[in-house]
Every structure is written in C-alpha cells, then in structure tokens.
Amino acid sequence: MDHALTRLQAGLVESMAVKQAMLDDRPLLQTLLQLADRIVRSLREGGRVLWAGNGGSAADAQHLAAEFVSRFAFDRPGLPALSLATDTSMLTAIGNDYGYEQLFRRQLQAQARPGDVFVGITTSGRSPNVLAAFDACPALGVHAVALCGLGGELEGRVQTLLRVPSRHTARIQEAHITLGHLLCAEVELRMFPEQAAAAAERH
C-alpha cells in the first residue's frame, strides 16, 4: 500500500510540476491571451472554432467544443464550435474512402469558412491527420492552432502554437484541458462582459 500511495503522490507531483512550469511560462500565457482575442474576433465576424484530435485528444476536442456551445462559467448565449472527432459515420466514411490521414482535412474542406479557427490537439505533435488538417488551413483562410507537448515539428506550420512543457502523454493531456478551460473562460468573458459581471455579483 505504501508503494501504491507513493506512486499516486508522484503522479500528482508530476502533474503539478507541469502546471507550475506553465504558470512560469509568460510567453505561453501571452500566446493563450492572443488566441482568445483571435477567437473572439472570429466569433464576432460570424466564424466558429473547430476542434480535432485522436483518442484522448478527441475526447478533449469534444469536451472543449461543448464548453463553447453550452456554457463554461456562467449563463450566456451559445458560441459556435464543432468537434470534428465525434461523428462515427463521417469518421468511418472518410477513413474508408480516403484514408485515416485525411480524416480532419476532408472535414475542414467541407465545413470551414474563411476566418474560422481550427484547434488541432496532438500530444506528440506528430499525428498525421492533424498535421494534414494544419496543411489545409492556409488555402481555406483558417487560423491554425496547435495544442501539443514538446514533440513534433510544428513551428511555421501553424499560426498559434501552444506547447505544454512535457513529453509525458498523460501530463500533456491534463495540461491541455487546463489550457482549454482557461481559453474558454477568457473568450466567454470577452464576449459577454455584462453577463460575467452579473454572475460575479451573484457570487
């Protein structure tokens, strides 16, 4: 039991260390704030946020899209967002007809409009289908955002790069949700300052 408890504590220490590193990473936080501004500009111009990822990152894409469409910290109108990793008929059709690497690229080509924001979540920074989607963004007029860890060659491939300072998949995924929640909170606050103020008064 003592060994098991020590393992749990070590996992928590590792997770906290990654978050502490993000807390100390001013450029990362500034980039997150700039992304919030970019998303707000897109939403105000009729755009939306498109999310994608594989495995746990697919779940994160679905989770964060839901925070935009439903709500995050307070009641307000829904914000347009969509996960490209949830429709099983779409995923299996594209995978079967065009190959798994085209999974998100094909959907972006069909769904995205100029001015939209695409957030590709890849813990390794090397997911072929996410990279293919990034490569499609310039021709579509879509702002490409990578949410990743320390791996992969993404510099110059996307317009916004949010790197979690870790190479451990679980720690990166935990940090992705933290960054995603911070982003949701910032966008929500900028889009609906009056509702945010009213919610703060009630608490």
- Which residue, chain included where needed, has tokens 């980039």? 31
Measured CA angle at 130 (ends 127, 134), to 5 deg: 130
The annotation places the binding site for substrate at: 54-56, 67, 96-97, 122-124, 127, 173
List, in sequence order, every residue forming a beta bridge with 82; answer none if it has no partner. Answer: 50
- Cite the annotated binding site by residue number: 54-56, 63, 67, 96-97, 122-124, 127, 173, 181
Cα distance between the two ends of the chain: 42
CA distance 157 to 161: 9
**How confident is residue 136, by pLDDT bands cut at 50, 70 and 90?**
very high
Residue with tokens 């707000």: 40
According to the model, what pLDDT value does residue 2 have? 84
pTM summary value: 0.96
Provide the annotated binding site for Zn(2+): 63, 67, 173, 181
Reply yes or no on whether the pLDDT at 201 is more than 90. no
> For 53-75, what is each residue's pLDDT tens digit?
999 999 999 999 999 999 999 99
C-alpha span between 141 and 143 (Å, rounded): 7
pLDDT, tens digit (0-9, with 9 covering 90-100), for 145-159: 999 999 998 999 999
Query: Are 118 and 144 spatial neighbours (Cβ–Cβ below 8 Å)?
Result: yes
Helix (H) or strand (E) holding 201: helix 193-202
How far is 10 from 132, CA to CA, in rounded Å?
36
Three-state secondary structure call for residue 39:
helix
pLDDT at 202 (0 to 100): 83
